Structure 1
Amino acid sequence: MEESTERRLFHRVPFDHSATLTQNGTSYPCQLKDISLKGALVSFPSETEFEAESEASLTFFLGHDRHKINMASKIVHQEEGSVGLYCVHIDVESISLLRRTIELNTGDSTLLNRELATLIEQHSQQA
């Protein structure tokens, strides 16, 4: 249920980019398929099984490996080589880079600002 709410509140943009998903100290190379301020969809070249609702960290680099985005996540679903991630925590530098990346890919800063305000409001309510 939480994932469907996230889909309505946060616009996902297609984003084909290499990444790494780390879980329990093991790193798995993967491919980003889409991304939002509150999650991502990644694919794996092989049949890798992850436990639903388990914690993982998604990491990828932008700008010739100069800018690192790291997202602490929860695995919300897995099917046919794809894993859906829900963002549990992201640092300020990573969210700033992610925001700019999404803005460049959507071309709609108004939508993104509204989503960022929603994200901040949700975080304030949880604190």
Structure 2
Amino acid sequence: MIVLSLSLGHAQEREMKRFDSSNEQRRHTRIRYTGTASLSNDAGHWEGALLDISLKGALMERPADWPGQPGDRYVLTLSLGDDSQITMQVTLAHVSATRMGLHCDHIDLDSISHLRRLVELNLGDPDQLQRELGLLGQ
């Protein structure tokens, strides 16, 4: 019984280290966003709830009919309330039963301007924004 308890403790400790290291790898602040985004490519068009967005990607709820696999490429479009939109070329980084993570491969100048403003308003720290913008080229 004690050995089993120690084994579970070590497993939980390893899991915590994995969680901590993934947070260390994340260098861009995620901004919670409530809204619908669309994904499209040659295979189709899907809409889903956007959960958060950063300068390097987004997290969405997985649409019910989602056929995508990690590595697939899409165009992510997020319509903002003022007739503007953010458009990113993305790669599906990971997918679960309910969510999917998207990595930004390319974003046009107008879209990065809108996204920068969105991040700026939510961060409230101009120095943090400058640090994150500096990391984009890395």
TM-score for both structures, normalised by structure 1: 0.83
Larger RCO of the pair (alpha carbons < 8 Å, separation 6+): 1
Larger radius of gyration: 2
Gaps of 5+ in 2: 1-21
Post-superposition, which runs of at least 4 consecutive aligned residues in structure 1 deviate over 4 A? 4-7
Q: Does 1:43 align with 2:78?
A: no
Structure with bigger strand share is 1
User: What's 1:111 paired with?
Assistant: 128
The counterpart of 1:73, out of the listed 69, 72, 90, is: 90
User: What's 1:18 paired with?
Assistant: 36
The counterpart of 2:49, out of the listed 31, 44, 47, is: 31
Partner SS for 1:27: strand
Partner SS for 2:69: coil
**Is the 1:6–1:38 Cα contact (8 Å) retained in structure 2?**
no
Gaps of 5+ in 1: 123-127
User: What's 1:125 paired with?
Assistant: none
- Once residues 26 and 6 of structure 1 are traced to their aligned partners in structure 2, the CA distance between those partners, rounded to angstroms, is 35
- Once residues 6 and 40 of structure 1 are traced to their aligned partners in structure 2, the CA distance between those partners, rounded to angstroms, is 18
Cα deviation for residue 17 of structure 1 reads 1.2
Residues 13 and 7 (structure 1 numbering): CA distance in 2 closer, same or farther, change over 3 Å? farther
RMSD: 1.8
Which AA in structure 2 matches 1:39?
G
**Is the 1:42–1:83 Cα contact (8 Å) retained in structure 2?**
yes
Which AA in structure 2 matches 1:110?
D
Residues 47 and 27 (structure 1 numbering): CA distance in 2 closer, same or farther, change over 3 Å? closer
Partner SS for 1:9: coil
Count of residue correspondences: 117
**Is the 2:36–2:49 Cα contact (8 Å) retained in structure 1?**
yes
TM-score for both structures, normalised by structure 2: 0.77
